[in-house]
Amino acid sequence: MQVAKTINEMRALRKKMQGAVGFVPTMGYLHEGHLTLVRESRAANDNTVVSIFVNPTQFGPAEDFKKYPRNTEGDLAMLAKEGVDVVFMPSSEVMYPVYYSTYVQVRKVTDRLEGASRPGHFEGVATVVAKLFNIVRADHAYFGQKDAQQVIVIKRMVEDLNIDTEIVVVPTVREQDGLAMSSRNVYLSKEERQAALVLYRALVLAQQNWSNGINDTETIRSEMKKLIESEPRAKIDYISIASPDTLEELKEVYQGAVVSLAVRIGKTRLIDNIRLGLSKL
């Protein structure tokens, strides 16, 4: 496994690759969810590139950029074990030099949910992903369904900007008790970790209600809200039942609709989602 820390190094390694190239962009502090993406890439491509870059432009002023968990040595050991070919690990100075002034905006679909709660977040995401796609020039890029809105934003950007990389979406990887794997789970105390299961329970409830013939979104949302509010450590940011293409809120639910939520457990903000009738729970 080779490690590139500059754009020129990454491009030089890319030129030597023959066959299909898969790419997994990450912010490091890897867990089984990331490794699942890596395995999907390795199974379908001749070469796999993983990036590790904690992107400062997608964090708001009050968010946890400096505290975001990092474990470079452990990450590299895991990726080597998985048979990754190249790890691209640039610094902020490499990605955003002194006079950097170009940003990518994806409109409409970023106006709601995470975009509304975290202004500027998706501009940072779209910008760094566009840069990484231009540098790595992968045939396929792998993203987890857990970040459903991010996937929709990136797909929109790729189509609008004619980027020649296919986006592959991999189902959310969960702990045995249902909690979606996330690097931010490390922030949770033992008690908060248990309380965080209310997100999964609320999504299961939504799926059950829809399976039982309830297709009114307000009824499903109300039941989810009641369940989450029964957990004293939980504070709801949003509960959404939306179109999988536009993320516009629906009045009536149908198969494939995105049920997503953001909930604070103590000081930790967690997100999760399912596609009704399509996600495995």
pLDDT at position 179, please? 97
227 — pLDDT class (breaks 50, 70, 90): very high
Specify the pairing of strand 258-265 against strand 268-275.
antiparallel
Element of type H or E holding 273: strand 268-275
The tens digit of pLDDT for each residue in 57-107 reads 999 887 888 889 999 999 999 999 999 999 999 999 999 999 999 999 999
pTM for this prediction: 0.95
Place of tokens 């020649």: 164
C-alpha span between 35 and 104 (Å, rounded): 28
- The CATH code of the domain at 183-275 is 3.30.1300.10
Contact 239, 224 (CB under 8 A): yes
Place of tokens 């198969």: 255
Question: Average pLDDT, stretch 18-28?
Answer: 98
Cα 115 → chain centroid: 13
Question: Average pLDDT, stretch 245-253?
Answer: 95
- Please provide the average confidence, as pLDDT, over all residues in the chain: 96
Enumerate the domain spans of the chain: 2-170, 183-275
Q: Is 144 exposed, middle or buried (0-12, 13-18, 19+ CB in 10 A)?
A: buried
Fold classification of 2-170 (topology level): Rossmann fold (3.40.50)
pLDDT at position 61, please? 86
Contact 78, 35 (CB under 8 A): yes
Residue 135, pLDDT above cutoff 80: yes
SS3 2: strand
Residue 241, pLDDT above cutoff 80: yes
pLDDT at position 199, please? 98
Task: Please give the positions annotated as active site.
Answer: 34
281 — pLDDT class (breaks 50, 70, 90): confident
The tens digit of pLDDT for each residue in 167-219 reads 999 999 999 999 999 999 999 999 999 999 999 999 999 999 999 999 999 99
The H-assigned helical ranges of the chain are: 7-16, 32-44, 72-81, 92-95, 114-117, 121-136, 148-160, 190-195, 197-211, 217-229
Contact 127, 105 (CB under 8 A): no
pLDDT at position 62, please? 77
Residue 36's closest CA among 180, 170, 178?
A: 170
